[in-house]
Structure 1
Amino acid sequence: MSYRIGKCFTFDAAHCLPSLPADHKCSRLHGHTYTVEVVLAAESLTPPGFVTDFGELRPLRHYLDATMDHQYLNKVLDIEPTSENLACHIAEWFRKNVEPTIPARLETVRVHESPTSWAEYEVPQP
């Protein structure tokens, strides 16, 4: 049996996707209120009955605020800032900087560009 939790974070940012044709609306500068959802899992609970304390995910909030919030993502990231690429980038950052400090493993990162559109990165498990 496995336990799972999820936590959402939001940030506002602008981007464009220059590899798209010039007449594609996403090739032009535009912005989103992004929602980043992380899902973590553990085989057993730690006292008092947590997968991990939600407060231990605060470093991700700080990273998003410092790196992406109210930024032009094309200048901040070394990748074209699609939702798919953002989900992978955030997952890699989380696994390196947060996962070693908590008793849970990251399963997925979902990035919502809008209330109806999202992309998900499923983290490979050892």
Structure 2
Amino acid sequence: MIIYKTFSFDSAHYLPRVPAGHKCGGMHGHTYTLKVFISGVPEPHSGWILDYTDLKKGISPLIDMLDHKTLNDIPGLENPTSEQVSIWLWDKIKPVFPGLIRIELNETPSSGVIYEG
């Protein structure tokens, strides 16, 4: 079974490796949405794979690191494409939640990345 929880954060960034004149080379911002998917077998007593409150507590410190920040200033995100941010998030979440099987990161309502490790 798979559970998921959605988070959001607002961040600015610029992409230093795009061609000269590309609009993403300048500072701009997004309201990102992050979906975190955890797989597991429901525990017999509670019936849960994981309490959503515990998932929120585990992810919130990462959201706090990103929210209302310039992503380029965060170590490891010097070229913060959605793909790189997804890998960065995965590397931070997986040790805390071993059942992590997928993250979805949208930088707009119509554009995003699915990363499964």
**TM-score, normalised via structure 1 length:** 0.85
**TM-score, normalised via structure 2 length:** 0.91
Deviation at 1:63, TM superposition (A): 2.0
Asked if 1:85 is matched to 2:79, the reply is no
Letter of the 2:90 partner, please give it.
A
1:74 is aligned to: 72
CA deviation string 1:84-121 (max 9, x = no partner): 1111111110112x226xxxx00011110011111111
The share of aligned pairs that are identical, in percent, is 36
Number of aligned residue pairs: give it.
114
Distance 1:31 1:45 in 2: 38
Structure 1 residue runs of 5 or longer lacking an equivalent are none
Aligned 8 A contact 2:38 2:97 in 1: no
Distance 2:85 2:62 in 1: 13
Asked if 1:110 is matched to 2:110, the reply is no
2:115 is aligned to: 121
Distance 1:35 1:77 in 2: 21
1:45 is aligned to: 42
Residues 13-52 of structure 1: pairs in structure 2 closer than 5 A: 13-42=11-40, 44-46=41-43, 47-52=45-50
Aligned Cα RMSD in Å?
A: 1.2
Letter of the 2:54 partner, please give it.
E
Q: Which runs of 4+ in 1 moved over 4 A?
A: none
Distance 1:40 1:87 in 2: 15
Aligned 8 A contact 1:88 1:109 in 2: no
Distance 1:10 1:27 in 2: 23
Distance 1:41 1:49 in 2: 14
Structure 2 residue runs of 5 or longer lacking an equivalent are none
Deviation at 1:62, TM superposition (A): 2.3
Distance 2:8 2:107 in 1: 10
Q: Residue 55 of structure 1 is aligned with which of 49, 53, 56?
A: 53
